[in-house]
A and B are shown apart, each in its own frame.
Chain A
Amino acid sequence: MQLQPILASLRHHRLTALLLTLQVSLTCAVVCNVVFMIAHRVDQVTLATGLVEDELSMVQVIGIDKHENSQVRHATDLIALRAIPGVTAAAGVDSLPLGLDESSYGMCASLEALNKATADRSMQRSSGCVQASIYSGTPSELATLGLKLVDGRDFVPGEFVPAQPGWVVANVPSVLVSRSLAERLYHGRSALGQSVYMEARPAMRIVGIVDTLLRPRLRAPAVNQYSVMVPSMPGDNEITYVLRSAAQDRQKVLKAAVETLTRIDPDRLIPPKMSRTFAQVRAQYFQRDRTMIGLLVASGLGLLFVTALGITGLANFWVQQRTRQIGIRRAIGATRGDILRYFQMENFLIVSGGIVPGIMLALALNVLLMQNDELPRLPSYYLALGALILWTLGQLAVLGPALRAAAVPPVVATRSV
């Protein structure tokens, strides 16, 4: 295949070819970043919480009487909820992963670290300390949520301490920490049996390590799992009951739970929006991300579609314009394959000419997005992927016109216009 005639003909259509190259490079730059953004958001949306998500439903209850004994109230409610057919486990919790309501506390691996961090007024900067999310709950929270222990044990009944009202955590003897937090605090040493320090409380012993436990509100990927469970029974009149059941029973269980709770005491708030399955919690938390994924996919496909339109449109023109030349080439011995390959090669050259500046543009765009905290650095295989997509797209778009060109009979050469 000779490149010379192709280049000569492209030089003849310099401006048009240049415009097409420009379009390809813009598309390449945007598509590379869009694909990366999609992958990034899909990672977010599918982030594991550590819970058995498709077996959980929740009902939030807010008591009205400020003077009632919340502990007794919660215990009564839970007995009734566990009796609902289909419910295999139930617990009362103050917050849940992706539930948005978060209580976070500074937590240190040693007393010295805690004192230093307090003096510095910063938990984040001190080496042995982190800002961790705390989950309080009634006994059997671990089993209800279906969390997996990698080491140690669940809380024993004697460890549970009732908390006072006011969103506080009781002084508890023990904690469960997530594996990610254990690694951060003890750097590879076994965390089991160690003591952690929080505020001016007595030391708390780590009795177990949970494989995965996401925060109620996501932060940076590295700290998303800095969470702790404590055997502190929520003392507020606002509580969320978590019910575990088979996936297909969730709606039924949810309905029965609201009815049961209303029957026990109708004079309290059960916000309908907060009676939901965990699948709904996840969907609501990531609703914007899912919209964005849809938009990104649509605009990526739209861009590719428009670029394909441009390539096909121009190729069609060129084929029409060169019908006579094609006929002459055929008449002097070029095969159909030669003509086909000519247009395919021409397209390959144009697209390649667009991909080179396109990749540089993609990197520039990525730097811009990184500055606005939208994205991390673009891995190089996304560039390769973008290039591959555009080459394929170009070849597909040019195939129709090229086949039409190949079908031009040699006799055209002998006809006058």
Chain B
Amino acid sequence: MFGYYLDLATRSVRRSKILTALMVLAIGLGIGASMTMLTVLHVLSGDPLPGRSEQLFCPHLDPLPLNYQQGDGPDPADNLTWPDAMALLRARRGERQAAMAGGQLLVRSGQQGARPFNVDGRYATTDFFALFGVPFEYGTGWSSADDIARAHVVVLSDTLSRKLFGSANSVGRTVRLGDNDYRVIGVTGEWQPEPVFYADASASRYSDADQFFLPLFTAVDLKLDVNGNFSAWGVDQAESREVSSTTSWLQFWVQLRNANEVSAYRQFLVDYSAQQKSLGRFQRPATNAKLYGLMQWLGHQNLVPNDVHLQLWLALAFLLVCMVNIVALLLAKFLRRSGEISVRRALGAKRRDIFLQLGIESALIGLAGGLLGLLIAQLGLWEVRQRPDDYAHLVQMDVPMLLGTFALAIAASVMAGLLPAWRACRVVPALQLKTL
């Protein structure tokens, strides 16, 4: 029966080529526009560390004074102060934990004629590599003894190692970053979370990976430049803004293995805040302390640009108008065949048969529209990749999105066909046959 209906559908399609082409074009445009925007959104809200992200959490304290007014800039409470980060680090309440901040250092390669250049990297504490699962090509990260000793050691990325030494294995060699020499103890392999979820809010989250990793304590000791937002809300006696208790600038991540550990850590944060409040350092309620999961944190940081949401809504509105358009055209098309339908009904076809036949015809149009939509979406994504936005190069359609496109196209056209098919199979045969 299916084959017969398919045959009928192709005949009907062939009979009104232009109208069918218009319908395919409308579905194709609608699907193409929405799939382009859905893919962009899918990429932007993707998981940066699949398989590991469920165990990663970001503690959020509220050390701000009661009368602090939030201005235009980022929320200072999104980062931690040095004393708070150190307290969480020493408490060791998670499986692993690390404090970190971004940094930019000048590199002089020492090779003849090479101009100096700046590289971006990260200052972190020892657990950073194990916490995020950073792969090593050569060597290892530093130990907590190195942290305590303020050791002048560095881990380089594969790219930077090749650029500086011409080879990936630079373990044991010395590199000059900024005004200091460091011993290379490890070289990381390919590792690039998208977005760089652990970076400060003011950093560009979709840009290149970190090129070097230095112990945070060493960086603070040497007063190295920090990339990112320093938010201060008061004056204290600290010897530098890095270690001030009223300046936030550090990011902190902790690994918690199960729900029990998560709730225990949450309680720990509230207790810590309460303790700080009783000491007079915090002023706001202790229950302001929060613990964000990785994906929750990305949501909190609002990483998806507003324009992308707007574009998605626009594309969906476009798809809706296309759908209404197709419903109207299919309705006209099916009703025009009232005579043919009546003959089939008079010869014994049930309403269900007619419904199925017309449904197959709309699905066929949907399939063609889906194919066209896929082409248009690829064209749209190509166009997005030409944009200079930092996320643009990531925008690719993966298999689930590809299948999703087809599912959406067929679902849309079958749904668009439902009303016309239902209306057409309710045609009263006798009335129509009389006029034939």
Contact = CB atoms under 8 A, between A and B. Distances in A.
Interface string B309-341: 111001101101110110111011101100000
Interface string A306-329: 110110011011101100000000
B324 A317 contact: no
23 contacts: A16-B331, A16-B335, A19-B327, A26-B317, A27-B321, A121-B69, A124-B71, A131-B71, A269-B116, A292-B311, A295-B314, A299-B33, A299-B315, A302-B29, A306-B30, A307-B321, A310-B328, A313-B328, A314-B328, A320-B336, A372-B306, A373-B306, A374-B310
Interface string B94-118: 0000000000001000000001111
B19 interface: yes
B323 to A, nearest CB: 9
Interface in B111-135: 115-118
Contact of A296 (B116, B314, B321): B314
B90 interface: no
Interface residues of chain B: helix, strand, loop or mixed (majority) = helix
A288 B328 contact: no
A374 B67 contact: no
B322 to A, nearest CB: 5
A306 to B, nearest CB: 5
Interface residues of chain A: helix, strand, loop or mixed (majority) = helix
B118 A269 contact: yes
A23 B321 contact: yes
Contacts of A23: 321, 324-325, 328
Contacts of B306: 372-374
B311 A295 contact: yes
B68 A121 contact: yes
Contact of A292 (B69, B71, B116, B307): B307
A30 interface: yes
A317 B333 contact: yes
Given A64-B116, A124-B71, A309 B318 contact: no
A267 B117 CA distance: 10
B388 interface: yes
Contact of A19 (B311, B331, B387, B388): B331
Contact of B328 (A16, A66, A125, A219): A16
A258 to B, nearest CB: 12
Nearest to B32: A302
Interface of A: 15-16, 19-20, 22-23, 26-27, 30, 34, 62, 64, 66, 121-122, 124-125, 131, 219, 266-269, 271, 284, 287-288, 291-292, 295-296, 299, 302-303, 306-307, 309-310, 313-314, 316-318, 320-321, 372-374
Contact of B33 (A26, A302, A320): A302
A122 B365 CA distance: 62
Nearest to A19: B328
Nearest to A219: B72
Interface of B: 19, 22, 25-26, 29-30, 33, 67-69, 71-72, 106, 115-118, 179, 305-307, 309-311, 314-315, 317-318, 320-322, 324-325, 327-329, 331-333, 335-336, 387-389, 419, 423
B306 to A, nearest CB: 7
B321 A266 contact: no
Given A299-B314, A314-B329, A26 B324 contact: yes
Given A23-B324, A303-B318, 7 more contacts: A30-B317, A271-B118, A288-B307, A291-B387, A299-B33, A313-B328, A321-B336
A34 B318 CA distance: 12
Contacts of B322: 306
Contacts of B29: 302, 306
Nearest to A305: B29
Nearest to B327: A19
A306 B321 contact: yes
A360 to B, nearest CB: 16
